[in-house]
Each structure stands twice: as C-alpha cells, then as structure tokens.
Homo-oligomer: A and B are copies of this chain.
Amino acid sequence: MNASDESLMSSSNAAQREGRADGDRSLEGRLLERMLARLGNPAVEFNLWTGERIAPAGVEPVCRVRISSRTTLLAILADPAVRFPDAYCDGRVEIEGDLVRLLESVYLAGERAPAASPLGRLVGRLRRPHVNTFAGSRANIHHHYDISNAFYELWLGQTMAYTCAYYPTVETSLDQAQIAKMHHVCRKMRLRAGEHVVEAGCGWGALALHMARHYGVKVRAFNISKEQVAYARERAEREGLAGQVEYVQDDYRNICGRYDAFVSVGMLEHVGVDNYEGLGAVVARSLGENGRGLIHSIGRNYPAPMQPWIEKRIFPGACPPSLAQMSRIFEPHNLSILDVENLRLHYAQTLRHWMELFELAGERVQQMFDAKFVRMWRMYLAGSIAAFTTGTLQLFQVVFATAHNNEVARTRAHLYVP
C-alpha cells in the first residue's frame, strides 16, 4: 500500500524479467533486477552502459531508461527515490519515451511493492525533512517561490495562480480554469460585498484581487515570500484594488484581527501536520462566533511522507495530508466540515497545461538558469501529473464553518448556477 520511500522509482522479480538467464546477468544487472523487484516491477526497460538490457517480463515497456555508468547505477541502487531523478537532472540517466508514463508506471508498481530492503529502510530513517519553524518556513518558501517571478510568468498563465485549477468542461483553457477555480472558491464561501476576508498564503495575489473585484470584499492576504508579495502589491496598484486588498509579508501564525471568512489555497502543503492544530487556532480566532472558510490543499488517501526527491529538491518542508490529518485543523476547535471536494483529476489537467507551456518556454528557461534546471523542473511537473493520474496524490477543497453557524448554504446548487 505505502509506496512512500522507494518511489519515485518504486519493483522486478528477476525470474519475471526476460533477456539473459540469471547466470548470464552481470552483477550490476542482478542488483538492478533486485531493486526493481522491491519497487514492484514498473513496466520500464533499462539499458546499461555495458549494453546489457533489462526489460520487464510479459509487458510492453512504457519507456526506456539508459544508465550511463556504474557509479550512477550504484547511487540509484542506494537510494532510487532521490538518486534516480537526480541522475536524470544531471544527464547521467537518459529517458526515451514518455516521462509521465514512466512515472505513472513507477507509482502504480509501488503500490504492489514488497517492503523496503534493509538499506531502503535505513535510508528512509536517515531522511530529515525540512522543518517549518518560523525561520524554517521562510527558508523553505524562499527556496521555491523566490527564484524568479519572470520564470513563473513563462508557464503559469495570465492569472499566475500556482494551484489546481477548476475545469467545468474538458475544453476549458488554463486561464479560464484558474478563473473558474477562483469563482468556485468564492461561491463556496458565499462572499458578500463589504465582508472582510483573511487569506493565508496568497501566492502572487490573484485570488485576493479576484475576491475584491468580483465579490466586493476587503482582503488581508498573508505570504512570507518577499518576491511574491512585491509582485502582488504592484498588481493591486496597477489594477486599482490597493484600497481593498492589503498584502502582508508575514507568517500565517501572526494573523490577527477578526474576519468573516478565512481562505487558504495551496499553503497547507507547506504547513506541516504538527502545526495543523495551531493553524486551526488561527482560523478559530480569526472567525470568532460566526464565520466560515475554505482550505484547498494537495492531499493523500492515507498518511505518507512527501516523495523524498520532491521534498529535497523542489518543496522543502512540504507534506500533503490525508483528510483525517487535515481534520486536526478543525476538530480541536469545534469547526464543522461542510463540504469536501476532491479535484485530483483537475490538478492532473492543470499540470498538463503548465507542462505544455513550460516545454514551449524550454529554451528561455535554459537561458535563465541551465539545462539541469530544465530537466529538474520537467521531472517535477511530469512526476506531479503521474501522482494525480494514479491517485497517489489528491486535491481536497474543504469548506468549513464555526459550529453554530446556521446561515450556511443548505444545498450546493448555487455553485452550479450558470
């Protein structure tokens, strides 16, 4: 069940693989076969620097992986979940075929994988995910979000919303879907003109502006990313909404004041499960007796750590929660969960749209950074698509209210009025 540590590369029984008989395999080939077995035998063919070919038994491989040297293979054997994507980024591994299908095969195989090897368990225990103290969170967020606004402008679309979009139909474009997502969020909260909203983790500011413009509310929006806050403030000025939207460069834990609604889209992944009860305390004190809100987050079907390469290279300190873990925000504070919607397949589609734009901008990205960065980002986007299409990750939108709030919507029909 729990793919956790050994995926991205999740496994092959030697006897199940075709090619040379066991006696003809090189030592390296046998070690690779053993690792693939532990990872549940993904439908992937491997070609070694020696010309040796290790193909899955009885299934057509979705992809071919070339490993360039013994050193590279040994690193992958020691810690496939981190070292395989690292080797791809460095060009020490080449992939022929569809990267998304490779990673889907790895995730699906991971579910039928046997327990990790002793080495795998040791490597897992030695991992130390980044922590989300105040300073830790600043460093973790800086790592990902402050690299360059211009870079993100290349592939996030017009809204610069860096979270799961909402596709009412299969024809919906990325920009339309991001706008539809913001309306969906606002309708779920039933915002009314003149109300006060607090937003925790506002990215480049799109949702706050949308709420102010279309729903007539006043917004205080918190974010610890300096680059994002600067961008969002300029945008609010330019769009004439600076009087309605205040961007605060500060940690969500420092939110104070009383609001009608609390919203957070795509921040919870960075909060850390240990801090959920504290986040709930912030929500409860922000809403007082009669409020409501929405939290939108990547999630899981069951608790598991973040895929370790993603945690190490892309999103330090991040962890997508199960719904039971998310409940730790609400339960200690007697907040009622009103509505949960799982938008997993919408995130797969959003990521496909981002990846298309990213690949179109590949040359410019390489000029801004380097080839390794392009491959790293490609691995991250492709792995994320695969995680959502295979059900390894979920996307939960949770609407909640204070316990005695009887002014909540009786039905959800109002969300679907054209």
Q: Which residues of A contact B (CB under 8 A)?
A: 1, 108, 111, 166-168, 170, 301-303, 322-324, 327-328, 330-332, 334-342, 344-346, 389-391, 394, 396, 403-406, 408, 410-413, 415-416
Q: Are A302 and B331 CB-contacts (below 8 A) given A337-B340, A339-B341, A406-B345?
A: yes
In the assembled complex, the Cα of A13 lies from the Cα of B303 at a distance in Å of: 45
| Cβ-defined contact, B168 with A411, below 8 A | yes
Closest 4 CB pairs of A and B: A340-B340, A391-B403, A324-B327, A302-B331
With contact pairs A327-B323, A404-B391 given, residues A301 and B339 touching in the complex (Cβ less than 8 Å): no
Determine if A341 and B412 form an interchain contact, defined as CB atoms under 8 angstroms apart: yes
Q: Can you list 21 A-B contacts with CB-CB less than 8 angstroms, sorted by A residue number?
A: A1-B334, A167-B411, A301-B330, A301-B331, A301-B337, A301-B403, A322-B327, A323-B323, A323-B327, A324-B324, A324-B327, A324-B328, A334-B391, A336-B394, A337-B340, A338-B342, A390-B403, A390-B404, A391-B404, A412-B412, A416-B416
Q: Who on chain B is nearest to A417 by CB?
A: B416
Which residues from B are CB-within-8-Å of A336?
301, 342, 344, 391, 394
- In the assembled complex, the CB of A348 is this many whole angstroms from the nearest CB of chain B, namely 9
| With A346-B410, A404-B391, A416-B413: A303-B324 Cβ-Cβ less than 8 Å | no
Residues in chain B near residue A332, CB distance under 8 A: 1, 302
Copies of this chain, how many? 2
Tell me the smallest distance from the CB of A364 to a CB of chain B, in Å. Answer: 33
| Interface residues of chain A: helix, strand, loop or mixed (majority) | mixed
A389 CA / B338 CA spacing, docked (Å)? 14
Nearest Cβ distance between residue A164 and chain B, in whole angstroms?
12
Q: Is the CB of A345 within 8 A of B412?
A: no
B contact residues around A342 at 8 Å (CB): 336-339
Contact A167 B410 (CB under 8 A): yes
CA of A415 to CA of B416 in the docked complex: distance in angstroms?
9
A342 CB → nearest B CB, Å: 5
Partner of A339, one of B168, B340, B390: B340
- Residues of chain B contacted by A344 (CB below 8 angstroms): 336
Which B residues touch A341, using CB under 8 A?
338-339, 412
Residues in chain B near residue A339, CB distance under 8 A: 340-342
B337 x A323 contact (CB < 8 A): yes
Residue of B nearest to A337 (CB): B323
- Bound Cα distance from A175 to B389, whole angstroms: 41
Query: What is the bound-complex CA distance between A403 and B168, given in angstroms?
Result: 22
A345 to B410 CA separation, bound complex (whole angstroms): 7
Contact B416 A412 (CB under 8 A): yes
Shortest CB-to-CB span from A368 to chain B, Å, is 35
Interchain nearest-CB distance for A331 vs B (Å) = 4
Which residues of chain B are near A389, meaning CB under 8 Å? 406
Q: Would A303 and B322 be within 8 Å (CB), given that A338-B342, A345-B406 are in contact?
A: no
A389 to chain B: closest residue by CB: B406
Give the distance to chain B from A100, nearest Cβ to Cβ, in Å.
Answer: 14
Q: Which residues of chain B have C-beta atoms less than 8 A from A331's C-beta? A: 301-303, 322, 324
Residues of chain B within 8 A of A411, CB atoms compared? 166-168, 416
Q: Nearest Cβ distance between residue A308 and chain B, in whole angstroms?
A: 20
Instruction: Please determine whether A111 and B322 come into contact, CB atoms closer than 8 angstroms.
Output: no
Residue of B nearest to A402 (CB): B391
Residues of B within 8 A of A324 (CB): 323-324, 327-328, 331
Q: Which residues does chain B contribute within 8 Å of A337, judged by CB atoms?
A: 301, 323, 340, 342, 394, 396
